[in-house]
Amino acid sequence: MSLAAADAEEPIGVAVVGAGYWGPNLVRNFQACPEFHLRWLVDLDKTRAERVLGRYSTVRPTDDLASVLADPAVGAVAIATPAGTHLEVAMAALSAGKHVLLEKPLAATFDEGRRLVDEAERRGLTLMCDHTFCYTPAVLRIRELLRGGELGELHYIDSVRINLGLVQRDIDVLWDLAPHDLSILDFILPDNVSPVSVSAVGADPIGAGNSCVAYLTVRLSTGGIVHIHVNWLSPVKVRTMIVGGSKRTLVWDDMNPSQRVAVYDRGVDLAGAEALGSEERRDLLISYRSGEMVAPALAEREALRAMVTEFGEAIRGGRPALTDGRSGLRVLGLLEAASESLRNAGTPVEVKA
């Protein structure tokens, strides 16, 4: 760990690598976070880095990553480059003793992600994955309610993430959209619940070369089930998740800013099930519970700012971040299992441990 990161009184010196789509968002939030002092913006195209920073910025643009990693004032590196470069760039940063924040996915493959996790743990450095959605007020509240037992035992999750475009050439809709839902799943599941297997089916009705529509089913260790629908071809944008528990059901509609989260005390009960044997359960009368709906108040704040703050606090505290390298690795395991299932017409694939 560098002196900049070790000194609890001084902001942590940080460099952002990548000035493309996501890098400017990281630049803005690191500049606004008192935990950090943004010192460098690195990009292969130095001119692009200069445009992002503007004429009057004190942050230095460069195309020389090696010189940045040699800077003792830099204690952390945030990487916003294509997934195929994550292993090389992040491994160089870890080898230089820097804490690392990686844009999703953690790496291009599960095995590459495992190498990064092992290296960070061996060196005692923070490795964090930028699963930004996990830091939205809505998802933080879902995690609190599910892990705290207010929803009861998890029965199912039904998630829909669909919109029109952007159809991509290098990846399918699974690798583009599903990481959001899978990272949220990993984030909200109680510690005693884990994915066991994944099955996935998809279609490419427009001949794009990759699946543009896909459906994932995740089986959980407790018998629960998770269904995820991702789609590039929908004329409307939908972002919903239903979390069904034995006590209550939660509905998250991210397109409804006035009521993003609603908790329903409504469901189906089997009267007297505890007193009857397995054969008798077939004849039980089903009763429907219809209680109140509560819409929890959520503070509006930028998720990326909360994520950057968490990165700083994890470094300061020497603890794993909420979305640490291992969470990123678990998401990679789910994605690889889904891709394998997709290639094999939906055959369930066991999730890597």
Residue 353: pLDDT over 90: no
341 residue type, one letter: S
Distance in angstroms between the alpha carbons of the first and the last residue of the chain: 29
Hey, what domains does the chain have and what are their CATH numbers? 3-125 (3.40.50.720), 134-300+334-350 (3.30.360.10)
Residue 324 has what DSSP assignment? Answer: B
Alpha-carbon gap, residue 192 to 205, rounded angstroms: 39
Binned at pLDDT 50, 70 and 90, residue 266 comes out as confident
Helix (H, G, I), strand (E, B) or coil at 36: strand
User: How many other β-carbons are positioned within 10 Å of the β-carbon of residue 277?
Assistant: 6
Alpha-carbon gap, residue 48 to 43, rounded angstroms: 7
Residue 254: pLDDT over 50: yes
Q: What pLDDT, on the 0 to 100 scale, is given for residue 333?
A: 97
- The label of the residue with tokens 């959209």 reads 177
Residue 1: pLDDT over 60: no
Query: CA 333, 155, 254 angle in degrees (round to 5)?
Result: 75
User: 146 pairs with which residues across the strands?
Assistant: none
User: 139 pairs with which residues across the strands?
Assistant: none
Alpha-carbon gap, residue 183 to 248, rounded angstroms: 23
Average confidence (pLDDT) over 248-263: 95
Distances (CA, A) of 103 to 142, 294, 349: 23, 35, 26
Query: CA 38, 43, 45 angle in degrees (round to 5)?
Result: 140
Residue 289: pLDDT over 80: no
Which has the minimum average pLDDT: 6-10, 16-20, 296-300? 6-10
Q: What share of the chain is helix, strand, coil (3-state, %, to 5)?
A: 35, 30, 35
Alpha-carbon gap, residue 102 to 167, rounded angstroms: 24
Residue 16: pLDDT over 80: yes
Non-local CB neighbours of 283 within 8 Å, separated by 6+ positions: none
Helix (H, G, I), strand (E, B) or coil at 213: strand
Residue 4: pLDDT over 50: no
CB distance 294 to 262 below 8 Å: yes
Alpha-carbon gap, residue 157 to 243, rounded angstroms: 5
Average confidence (pLDDT) over 252-276: 81
Residue 96: pLDDT over 90: yes
Dihedral sign for Cα atoms in the order 256, 258, 260, 263: negative
Q: What pLDDT, on the 0 to 100 scale, is given for residue 3?
A: 39
What's the pTM?
0.91
Q: Which two tokens stand for residue 137?
A: 């007020």
Average confidence (pLDDT) over 151-173: 93
CB distance 161 to 239 below 8 Å: yes
| Mean model confidence pLDDT for the chain | 93
Binned at pLDDT 50, 70 and 90, residue 5 comes out as very low
